[in-house]
């Protein structure tokens, strides 16, 4: 039978990913297995990985008797021929292990891999974010982290837990919110995983608004749970601006870090600004930008009218043209915010007015930033693959983290746990 299996064909088939709403634990396990075969983590994924290969072999060779043994052998062949042609493979000699929860497109992963970390588990439920993640890191994230089955795939003994979880209010019964008050929220799931797996360090990220969310109760409950119920040393959270770390984007996010108490860590310094003065110009496309990004004259007129109407009421609704030598506002996903935040004026560069067939000007030179420019604003390198539609790409980069700010903070965390190890 072995001779009959065309491993290349199988490999080609298995490496494909079609966005789907259906969770496939076996397929996620399979990709996690392949990328963890050199460390002790692979045993967590082996059973499901074999089951996945077996199922696929059965589909391809329906008349053959595919046993577990054959599937396991095929799996070993697949490891040998593992397609390492992904832009961001794990470091060759990893120095620590981490998990990437609410992974999005892997902003945390990129930063922690750059510091020598090996990601051993990923969860993200959005099918298009999974597609981007798979194209860049080779692994297909597991899905809904609130499901016990998803959590059952998280291996033991990793060092750092990363999570940029969505912010939700808790309904607190007592004076100070505790673990049980957070039940039913995504923070509860994060806390439950920390409690069970006891990582050395945790790194949580959220919108700046978390600080004042529900009159400050949400943040104080989070800190209370981490400090009192989970017994972690958690210094005061800090609001960090991406623009302090070498990208021209004014993006403030709250960072919460923590250390398991038995390590004796009782101080932590967040990173200092890198003091690089980067301007928008440095992230703009070098080549001519497709005309589709330029706003039509008609649309621009509508925006201008909106602004004229609404700014007079003082709510600033409208759009803002960001100068090339300036700093962009935070990239955010969806709606009018997108245009308002990130419209730039190319009239002074090499833009030639675009006309329609009757010769009227219909594009003046004011355009949206491209997905690649958004990627750069978030500190993603140019070899980061964008494999989804523009609409999805804006959403994904808008949801993501500014990698350099995450990396600078993660470095401080790693230095602490290494120093104290």
Ligand X SMILES: C[S@@+](CC[C@H](N)C(=O)[O-])C[C@H]1O[C@@H](n2cnc3c(N)ncnc32)[C@H](O)[C@@H]1O
Residues labelled catalytic? 167
Please tell me whether residue 410 binds ligand X under the rule CB under 6 A: no
Contacts of 207-216 with C-beta under 8 Å, sequence gap 24+, read: 207/167, 207/253, 207/254, 208/239, 208/252, 208/253, 208/254, 209/167, 210/167, 210/254, 211/237, 211/239, 211/254, 213/167, 213/169, 214/169, 214/170
Please tell me whether residue 343 binds ligand X under the rule CB under 6 A: no
Single out the residue of 56, 126, 139, 192 in contact with ligand X (rule: CB under 6 A): 126
Neighbours of 100 (CB within 10 A): 29
Q: What share of the chain is helix, strand, coil (3-state, %, to 5)?
A: 45, 15, 40
Q: Which of the ranges 153-161, 263-271, 276-284, 397-405 carries the binding residues for ligand X, by CB under 6 A?
A: 397-405
- Shortest gap between Cβ of 395 and ligand X (angstroms)? 9
Q: Which residue lies nearer to ligand X by CB, 181 or 189?
A: 189
- Shortest gap between Cβ of 243 and ligand X (angstroms)? 18
For helices 107-114 and 403-420, what crossing angle results, to 10°?
50
Please tell me whether residue 111 binds ligand X under the rule CB under 6 A: no
Residue matched to tokens 């697949």: 78
- Shortest gap between Cβ of 371 and ligand X (angstroms)? 14
Single out the residue of 26, 124, 139, 244 in contact with ligand X (rule: CB under 6 A): 124
Please tell me whether residue 129 binds ligand X under the rule CB under 6 A: yes
Q: Is the dihedral of CA 149, 150, 154, 160 positive or negative?
A: negative
Residue of minimal Cβ distance to ligand X: 104
**Among the listed residues 133, 125, 127, 34, the one whose alpha carbon sits nearest the alpha carbon of residue 84:** 34
- Shortest gap between Cβ of 310 and ligand X (angstroms)? 28
Q: Which residue lies nearer to ligand X by CB, 361 or 391?
A: 391
Please tell me whether residue 137 binds ligand X under the rule CB under 6 A: no
Please tell me whether residue 102 binds ligand X under the rule CB under 6 A: yes
Q: Which residue lies nearer to ligand X by CB, 106 or 365?
A: 106
C-beta separation of 260 from 291 below 8 A: no
Q: Which residue lies nearer to ligand X by CB, 327 or 400?
A: 400
Single out the residue of 146, 168, 263, 274 in contact with ligand X (rule: CB under 6 A): 146
C-beta separation of 375 from 356 below 8 A: no
Q: Which helix (H) or strand (E) holds 174?
A: none
Q: Which residue lies nearer to ligand X by CB, 184 or 353?
A: 184
**Among the listed residues 278, 186, 275, 267, the one whose alpha carbon sits nearest the alpha carbon of residue 225:** 186
Single out the residue of 117, 155, 164, 404 in contact with ligand X (rule: CB under 6 A): 164
Q: Which of the ranges 57-65, 139-147, 271-279, 281-289 carries the binding residues for ligand X, by CB under 6 A?
A: 139-147
Q: Which of the ranges 38-46, 114-122, 142-150, 232-240 carries the binding residues for ligand X, by CB under 6 A?
A: 142-150
Task: Give the alpha-carbon dihedral of 233, 239, 245, 247, to 10 degrees.
Answer: 140
Quote the CA–CA distance of 219 and 163 in Å, as a whole number: 15
Tokens found for residue 335: 């709606």
Q: Which residue lies nearer to ligand X by CB, 224 or 407?
A: 407
- Shortest gap between Cβ of 193 and ligand X (angstroms)? 12
Quote the CA–CA distance of 163 and 154 in Å, as a whole number: 14
Please tell me whether residue 353 binds ligand X under the rule CB under 6 A: no
Binding mask 179-208 for ligand X (x = CB under 6 A): -------x----------------------
Please tell me whether residue 155 binds ligand X under the rule CB under 6 A: no
- Shortest gap between Cβ of 400 and ligand X (angstroms)? 3
Pairing of the two strands 354-355 and 361-368? antiparallel
Using CB under 6 A as the criterion, which residues of the chain lie in contact with ligand X when the complex forms?
102-108, 123-126, 129, 144-146, 164, 166, 186, 399-401
């Amino acid at each position: 039978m072995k001779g009959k299996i065309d491993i290349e064909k199988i490999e080609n088939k298995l490496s494909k990913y079609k966005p789907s709403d259906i969770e496939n634990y076996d397929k996620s396990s399979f990709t996690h297995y392949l990328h963890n075969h050199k460390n002790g983590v692979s045993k967590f994924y082996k059973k499901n990985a074999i089951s996945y290969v077996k199922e696929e072999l059965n589909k391809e060779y329906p008349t053959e008797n595919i046993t577990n043994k054959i599937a396991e052998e095929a799996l070993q062949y697949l490891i040998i021929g593992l397609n390492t042609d992904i832009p961001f493979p794990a470091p060759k000699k990893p120095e620590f292990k981490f998990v990437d929860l609410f992974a999005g497109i892997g902003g945390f992963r990129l930063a922690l891999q750059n510091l020598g970390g090996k990601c051993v588990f990923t969860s993200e439920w959005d099918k298009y974010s999974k597609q981007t993640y798979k194209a860049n890191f080779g692994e297909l994230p597991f899905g809904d982290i609130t499901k016990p089955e998803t959590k059952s795939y998280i291996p033991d003994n990793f060092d750092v837990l990363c999570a940029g979880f969505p912010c939700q209010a808790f309904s607190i019964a007592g004076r100070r919110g505790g673990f049980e008050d957070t039940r039913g929220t995504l923070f509860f799931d994060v806390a439950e995983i920390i409690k069970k797996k006891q990582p050395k360090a945790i790194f949580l990220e959220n919108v700046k608004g978390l600080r004042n969310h529900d009159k400050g109760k949400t943040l104080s409950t989070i800190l209370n749970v981490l400090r009192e119920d989970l017994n972690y040393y958690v210094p005061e959270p800090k609001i960090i601006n991406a623009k302090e770390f070498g990208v021209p984007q004014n993006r403030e996010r709250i960072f919460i870090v923590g250390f398991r108490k038995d390590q004796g860590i009782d101080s932590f310094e967040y990173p200092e600004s890198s003091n690089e003065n980067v301007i928008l110009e440095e992230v703009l496309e070098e080549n001519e930008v497709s005309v589709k990004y330029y706003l039509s004259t008609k649309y621009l007129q509508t925006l201008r009218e909106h602004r004229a109407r609404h700014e007079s009421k003082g709510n600033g609704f409208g759009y803002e043209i960001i100068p090339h030598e300036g700093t962009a506002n935070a990239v955010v996903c969806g709606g009018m915010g997108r245009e308002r935040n990130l419209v730039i004026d190319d009239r002074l560069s090499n833009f030639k007015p675009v006309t329609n067939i009757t010769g009227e000007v219909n594009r003046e030179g004011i355009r949206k930033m491209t997905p690649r420019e958004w990627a750069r604003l978030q500190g993603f390198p140019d070899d980061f693959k964008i494999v989804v539609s523009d609409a999805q790409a804006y959403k994904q980069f808008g949801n993501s983290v500014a990698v350099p700010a995450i990396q600078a903070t993660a470095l401080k965390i790693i230095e602490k746990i290494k120093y104290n190890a």
